[in-house]
Amino acid sequence: MPRADRHTHADTDIVRLDSPAAVADLIGIEAAPVDVLKIELPDADLLRALALPRDPGQKTSRLEVTLTRWDAPSPRWRGRLGQVRTLTSFEMDVARPQGGARAVVAVDRPTPVHEIANALIPVFLPNTPYAGAGFPLIALAAGAGDEALSLLPTRTVPPIEPMVERLQGVGLKRADLLIGGARRLADDLATHHLTTDEAVHGSPRTELPVLDLNVHNPIGRELLFKKSRPARRLAVSQNRALILTVEADRGAAIEFDVRRPLSAATVRELRGVESISLDGIGEVPEGLAARFAEIAATDTILHSLPESVAIAPDALAPALVDVIRRPYEQRMGLERELRQVEARRIAMHEHAGFFRLASAITHKTGERCLPRVSVILSTMRSELVPGVLRMMAAQTYAHFEVIVVVHGVPAPSLDGVDLGGLDYTVVEVPDTVLFGGALAEGVRRSSGDLITKLDDDDWYSEHHISDLVLAHLYSRADVVGKTTEYLYFEEVGQTVHRTFATERYHDQLAGGAMLLSRSAFDALGGWRPTPNSTDRSVLIRVETQGGIGYRVQSLGYMYIRHASKHTWERTASQLVGGAFEQWRGWRYPEVGY
């Protein structure tokens, strides 16, 4: 098992930590406080293990953290140090000739290392808060364990907050729900308690393994318009798995232990792997099925698992087993993405730790913990409203409402339109109100924790809202969205696939397919009361106020260039520019067939 490794430094020893186990060996002990603690980590993700509450735990007055590998999420990244109650100074150095990054935090008294490490996470990684009206206040207890990290909706670890004596209320506890720790401790600190095991298995209880959305995700995957890299295959010997190139000497092997969750470093290696054949697998040893779920969540395609190889239904979601049994030949573009996203959606919905935690919290407290989405549609073409509402009625995500703002036109008749219990509200505003003002009125009439906007002349699949919520969770960006990557020309009956970099942090998103939290929306000032470019006004302020955007894959969203009047005034030749795939008519169910 990897352990902490000390090596000599001019001032004091630097401790190199390369795994959660090594972190626990260093700071999860009872020891005298140290004046200066210098730690070297392979990447920022291991800060999360360092941030787990521990009792006893190492304390220090100065923590120096060096990341041997760190790339800013975006060129204009501006991370922020979180709350450190005893802070005296903070320094950060990213202009290092050897690469990586270094941060130094000094405090005025010995402070637990995990508290300082938790504050450093948003310095290096996007971490928009998980906020919603009336959500229970969650805290992690000391001893919750490494597995508790997979449950969290944020990269930071929610601590047991200190009580301010002068503000202490009668019967007010320090958390609504405590995860981990002794039950007697929970009774004193929180209204409700879940063991880590209870949270991991969810309610109703499932034995399916969990994956960590903060680690096992497609951020930075290979671009769809890039040629395929050498195909890979999986070889397994006892607890050791190797991802090898099908043709010898076409790339270094990727190795992992089937018993342990894939690390962020292994996931980075998978970014350059399009597909892995499982046709040489004779059996699935304990733990490997869980690794299949994690790999699928990264958009690396698993395929060709023999029918003779059994996987128990409580080891891997049966729908995902069906997908990884199918054959696959490497290719660019839409065919690749259809296979990637199908498996990813199943893996995340069935195995993501946060969804387990949310179900357990609802069962324990009666409170909803998944975000409610407000879908805002402003239109001057009321005849298009029934079609848009039908698309929303088919959504797979459960917690949302639709606010339809009819702008200077009569409200549409929805008599006889089967919307299957869709929660929607129609709001009328006069044509004297500018477009941005009409959208703002829709937001004022809404109640969701997250806000997204529809365009009446676009097409949305049943997975659209769910895709955006998932991206909000795993990217932790301030705003997430799809792009006009898939475009249909109504006049000529042609679908094109344009060249866009997706599954990356980016400042340009499609206005008809972006989502952000209500708190972020309000802080940015929302849609300005302008006649056009209202979406750009939001994205500009995300950028100027130090936020970050994220582009999720664009399946399930089709920008339709209607023959009738449209609001986006660009020529057809401009929109076709950069397309690398074209088809006659609609193309495939996921993009509107």
Under the banding of pLDDT at 50, 70 and 90, the label for residue 95 is: confident
What are the backbone dihedrals phi and psi of residue 114, each rounded to the nearest 5 degrees, phi first?
A: -65, -30
Of 186, 18, 44, 25, whose CA–CA distance to 101 is shortest?
44
pTM tops 0.85, yes or no: yes
- Overall average pLDDT of the 497-521 stretch: 95
Q: Which two tokens stand for residue 10?
A: 């001019």
Q: What is the pLDDT of residue 313?
A: 98
Let me know the angle formed at the C-alpha of 566 by 560 and 568, rounded to the nearest 5 degrees.
85
pLDDT tens for each residue of 327-375: 999 999 999 999 999 999 999 999 999 999 999 999 999 999 999 999 9
- Annotate 452-466 with DSSP letters as a single string: EEE-TTEEE-TTHHH
**Beta strands across the sheet bearing 14-16:** 5-7, 14-16, 37-41, 59-67, 101-112, 87-93
DSSP 139: E
Of 310, 228, 208, whose CA–CA distance to 274 is shortest?
228
DSSP 151: G
Under the banding of pLDDT at 50, 70 and 90, the label for residue 10 is: very low
Under the banding of pLDDT at 50, 70 and 90, the label for residue 192 is: very high
pLDDT tens for each residue of 98-118: 789 999 999 999 999 999 999
Let me know the angle formed at the C-alpha of 201 by 195 and 207, rounded to the nearest 5 degrees.
140
Are the C-beta atoms of 181 and 348 separated by less than 8 Å?
no
Q: Tokens 């080891």, residue? A: 315
Per-residue pLDDT at 59 exceeds 60 = yes
Q: What is the pLDDT of residue 592?
A: 59
Name all domains of the chain by residue range, CATH numbers in brackets.
1-125 (no CATH), 232-351 (no CATH), 371-584 (3.90.550.10)
Q: Which two tokens stand for residue 218?
A: 């497609």
Half-sphere exposure of 338 (CA within 13 A, CB side): 16
Q: Which residues of 278-316 are buried (b: 16+ CB within 10 A; e: fewer)?
A: beebeebeebbbbbbbbbbbbbbbbbbbeeeeebeeebb
Of 473, 373, 470, 368, whose CA–CA distance to 155 is shortest?
473
DSSP 39: E
Let me know the angle formed at the C-alpha of 226 by 513 and 336, rounded to the nearest 5 degrees.
65
**H or E, element range at 450:** strand 450-454
Q: Which two tokens stand for residue 200?
A: 């991991």
Of 136, 311, 299, whose CA–CA distance to 207 is shortest?
311
Q: Which two tokens stand for residue 9?
A: 């430094």
Q: What is the pLDDT of residue 587?
A: 84
- Overall average pLDDT of the 262-280 stretch: 97
What does DSSP say about strands 400-407 and 373-379: parallel, antiparallel, or unpaired?
Answer: parallel
What does DSSP say about strands 101-112 and 138-140: parallel, antiparallel, or unpaired?
Answer: unpaired
Per-residue pLDDT at 8 exceeds 50 = no
Of 423, 575, 403, 584, whose CA–CA distance to 500 is shortest?
575
What does DSSP say about strands 458-460 and 557-561: parallel, antiparallel, or unpaired?
Answer: antiparallel
Per-residue pLDDT at 217 exceeds 90 = yes
Please report, as a single letter, which amino acid is at residue 101. A
Cα(416)–Cα(401) distance, integer angstroms: 20
Are the C-beta atoms of 401 and 372 separated by less than 8 Å?
yes
Per-residue pLDDT at 567 exceeds 70 = no
Please report, as a single letter, which amino acid is at residue 154. T
Q: Which two tokens stand for residue 564?
A: 């009738």
Q: Which two tokens stand for residue 149?
A: 């990290």
The chain-wide mean pLDDT, for the chain, equals 92
SS3 call for 55: coil
